[in-house]
Amino acid sequence: MSRRPLPLNAAYAFTVAARHLNLTRAAQELCVTQGAVSRKIATFENWLGFPLFERHARGLRLTPRGASLLPALKSSFEQMRQAAEQASQPHAALRLKAPTCAMRWLVPRLVALEQARPELHVSLTTTVDHSTQLENYDAAILYGTLPPGGHRLFDEVLTPVIAPALMPSGTLAYEDLPGFTFLHPTADGRDWMLWLNALAIRPSVSRHQHFDTMDLAISAAVQGFGITVADVTLIEADLAAKRLIAPFSETVKTGAVYSLIQRPSEASSAQLESLVAWLCEEKQV
């Protein structure tokens, strides 16, 4: 059954009045008279067939059905606003959030993306937060478990790495490990323990240095501070450039993954889809 078109102006006036719960302040925001706001709300109530507010001496109070309707309307108007902004600003930067530990993998791919697609602009924010809440971001790279609807980028796989200057002989045996400072990507040392337990070895190491992120531990290893365990994907460029050497062939999976999440499809743009496609295609590069 067909219905009359939704009175959008009246519906928007309802959301403003519901925010203020005061017709005078709603009228000031909408730049109309208080009477005009009242008429718009009455128009929307007539269209719906039920009242939205209870009028009191001190202002307005939402009816139960009005309160139930409000969240969906606010969300719909916000989506329309975002869509209009994206359409009017075709070159606006995409907002990407990523953990600092992923920078070694991510930054070269963003550089390649801007060279291949100069019309795409990505505003990158680094964080140590792995929350799935996008808030003011279009997409985010996460570390941990694969979230529902997330795109798997790569599994975390650990192996020890060390600067060439600390390996003058070019080889390293398990028995040599106690002679180095162990650099830990975490405060609890779990990454080293995973690798050592997988090989069933227990070196007696006396010097330890702990870092907040794997990226910091890798940087310290590059500078010759000691030996660390690092994800094999994150250190690909360092190994290729001979800044680091992986002295052992053994690796261990931690069970964690690096993944990519994005805004829901109804709130995304063609540019965002291009960014997601690029990072997913480049995940094995």
Q: What is the pLDDT of residues 122-159, one digit of tens each?
A: 999 888 776 777 878 899 999 999 999 899 999 999 99
pLDDT for residue 45 is more than 50? yes
Q: What is the model's pLDDT at position 126?
A: 86
Q: What span, in angstroms and rounded, lies between the C-alpha atoms of 135 and 115? A: 28
Q: What is the model's pLDDT at position 158?
A: 97
- Top-confidence residue, 284 or 184: 184
| DSSP H/E element including 254 | strand 252-262
Q: Beta-carbon neighbour count of residue 198 at 10 Å? A: 13
Model confidence at 91, pLDDT cuts 50, 70, 90, reads: low
pLDDT for residue 201 is more than 80? yes
Instruction: Retrieve residue 273's tokens.
Output: 């889809």
* 213-253 per-position pLDDT tens digit: 899 999 999 999 999 999 999 999 999 999 999 999 999 99
Q: What is the model's pLDDT at position 100?
A: 87
Q: What is the model's pLDDT at position 92?
A: 67
Q: What's this model's pTM, rounded to 2 decimal places? A: 0.65
- Top-confidence residue, 132 or 36: 36
Q: What is the model's pLDDT at position 58?
A: 76
Mean pLDDT (whole number) for 272-285: 79
Q: What span, in angstroms and rounded, lies between the C-alpha atoms of 181 and 205? A: 8
Phi, psi of 207 (to 5 degrees): -115, 125
* Residue appearing with tokens 């019309």: 119
Mean pLDDT, the chain, as a whole number?
88
pLDDT for residue 30 is more than 80? yes
pLDDT for residue 182 is more than 80? yes
Q: What is the model's pLDDT at position 1?
A: 38
Q: What span, in angstroms and rounded, lies between the C-alpha atoms of 285 and 279? A: 10
pLDDT for residue 174 is more than 70? yes
pLDDT for residue 89 is more than 70? no
